[in-house]
């Protein structure tokens, strides 16, 4: 694997790509050096493209540049997932696949260019013309070859009956798009605006969930305090009432002995115990739905952070 990585980098050098200092293997590539290599490669493949060879400090600009690079690589026929993540947070496998793809495309372009040079050399030997005209023919031939190659990479995605007309429409469309910098700027601004709106929406939803969780926690606390206060108050009133009632009965009852009243008091104690158990059961029926709703909201809040969910579940189990 290490040897194949070095071969790919050497291939890039031989194809005219300047490898940044400190990069001796594909795994040494950083987001900044990867962008540099990719930007140089795309410029050689399509001179109409324009990308910076280094990443700016602004995260928004980094995102925009990497998104544009990913889109251009996908347009060239890259097979597999390709997004800004592959440039900002690439794995070693991502780096290997992307560099191998660039080497392949640059090699194809080099072969096409050599074939065009040989054909033009043959034409020039048969029909000598001025050096300016020959240079112009070479440029036109290379452009036509690139246009044909680009159209072929799109055949699997579009159903085209007339290859020639389709190629002309596609090339004209790309020329107009790349030539209109103001239009591209508006599209980039629109993309950034859409992303900012999505981030704002997610933050808003997160804040709303936090508010609901806090509100439920407050309601739970209030209900528990109210239930406890009512239980204590009921106990106190019941005890006071029973004590007064018993005192009156004992005072005016000449027919029953003291043991009779002791037995009655024991029965009342048992009745109070059963009543307390019933109140505790009612309290559980109130608290459990609130706890379940609280857990549901917490899971929804941390759905985008699996590590936070695992910690929350571990705390609940403990």
Instruction: Please indicate, yes or no, if residue 187 is contained in any of the structural domains.
Output: no
Of 209 and 190, the one with more pLDDT: 209
pLDDT of residue 244: 81
Give the residue from 154, 182, 210 where a domain finishes: 182
Please tell me whether residues 247 and 117 are part of one structural domain.
Answer: no
Report the candidate in 179, 152, 161, 162 with the shortest Cα–Cα distance to residue 76: 152
pLDDT of residue 159: 41
| Tens digit of each residue's pLDDT (9 = 90 or more) over 301-313 | 766 666 666 666 6
Q: Are 91 and 81 in contact (CB under 8 A)?
A: no
Contacts for 82-88 with beta carbons within 8 Å, 24 or more apart? 87/31, 87/34, 87/35, 87/38, 88/31, 88/62, 88/63
| Tens digit of each residue's pLDDT (9 = 90 or more) over 219-263 | 888 888 888 888 888 888 887 887 787 777 777 767 777 777 778
| Tens digit of each residue's pLDDT (9 = 90 or more) over 197-213 | 777 777 777 777 777 88
Instruction: Please indicate, yes or no, if residue 231 is contained in any of the structural domains.
Output: yes
pLDDT at 8 over 50: yes
**Token pair listed for 163:** 């290859």
d(CA 272, CA 160): 87
d(CA 66, CA 71): 9
The torsion of the CA quartet 166, 169, 174, 179, rounded to 10 degrees, works out to: 160
Instruction: Please indicate, yes or no, if residue 189 is contained in any of the structural domains.
Output: no
Instruction: Please indicate, yes or no, if residue 209 is contained in any of the structural domains.
Output: yes
pLDDT of residue 10: 85
Q: Which domain holds residue 199?
A: 195-317
Give the residue from 159, 182, 205 where a domain finishes: 182
Please tell me whether residues 25 and 146 are part of one structural domain.
Answer: yes
pLDDT of residue 306: 63
Please tell me whether residues 49 and 177 are part of one structural domain.
Answer: yes
pLDDT at 139 over 60: no
User: pTM for this one?
Assistant: 0.38
pLDDT at 160 over 50: no
Mean pLDDT of 55-64: 87
Q: Are 163 and 31 in contact (CB under 8 A)?
A: no
Please tell me whether residues 275 and 222 are part of one structural domain.
Answer: yes
User: How many domains does the structure of the chain reveal?
Assistant: 2
pLDDT of residue 193: 73
Give the residue from 182, 205, 221 where a domain finishes: 182
Rg for the chain, CA atoms, rounded? 39
Mean pLDDT of 58-78: 89
Please tell me whether residues 78 and 172 are part of one structural domain.
Answer: yes
Instruction: Please indicate, yes or no, if residue 43 is contained in any of the structural domains.
Output: yes
Please tell me whether residues 272 and 129 are part of one structural domain.
Answer: no
Instruction: Please indicate, yes or no, if residue 203 is contained in any of the structural domains.
Output: yes
d(CA 247, CA 240): 11
Please tell me whether residues 233 and 101 are part of one structural domain.
Answer: no
Confidence band, pLDDT 50/70/90 cuts, at residue 112: low
Please tell me whether residues 158 and 31 are part of one structural domain.
Answer: yes
Mean pLDDT of 157-172: 45
Of 124 and 300, the one with more pLDDT: 300
The torsion of the CA quartet 276, 280, 286, 289, rounded to 10 degrees, works out to: -160
pLDDT of residue 50: 81
């Amino acid at each position: 694997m290490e040897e194949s990585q070095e071969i790919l980098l050497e291939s890039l050098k031989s194809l005219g790509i300047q490898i940044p200092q400190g990069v001796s293997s594909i795994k040494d590539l950083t987001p900044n050096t990867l962008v540099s290599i990719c930007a140089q490669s795309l410029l050689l493949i399509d001179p109409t493209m324009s990308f910076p060879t280094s990443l700016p400090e602004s995260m928004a600009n980094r995102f925009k540049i990497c998104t544009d690079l990913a889109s251009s690589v996908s347009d060239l026929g890259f097979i597999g997932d390709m997004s800004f993540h592959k440039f900002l947070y690439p794995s070693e496998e991502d780096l290997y696949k992307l560099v191998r793809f660039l080497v392949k495309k640059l090699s194809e372009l080099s072969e096409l260019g050599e074939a065009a040079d040989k054909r033009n050399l043959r034409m020039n030997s048969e029909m000598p013309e001025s050096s300016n005209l020959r240079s112009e023919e070479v440029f036109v031939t290379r452009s036509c070859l690139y246009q044909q190659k680009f159209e072929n990479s799109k055949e699997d995605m579009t159903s085209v009956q007339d290859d020639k007309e389709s190629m002309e429409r596609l090339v004209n469309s790309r020329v107009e798009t790349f030539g209109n910098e103001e239009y591209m700027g508006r599209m980039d601004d629109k993309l950034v605006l859409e992303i900012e709106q999505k981030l704002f929406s997610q933050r808003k939803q997160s804040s709303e969930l936090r508010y609901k969780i806090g509100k439920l926690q407050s309601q739970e606390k209030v209900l528990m305090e109210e239930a406890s206060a009512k239980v204590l108050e009921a106990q106190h009133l019941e005890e006071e009432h029973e004590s007064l009632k018993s005192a009156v009965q004992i005072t005016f009852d000449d027919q029953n002995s003291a043991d009779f009243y002791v037995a009655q008091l024991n029965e009342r104690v048992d009745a109070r115990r059963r009543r307390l158990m019933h109140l505790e059961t009612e309290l559980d029926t109130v608290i459990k739905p609130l706890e379940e709703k609280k857990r549901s909201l917490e899971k929804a809040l941390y759905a985008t952070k699996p590590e936070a969910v695992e910690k929350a579940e571990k705390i609940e189990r403990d």
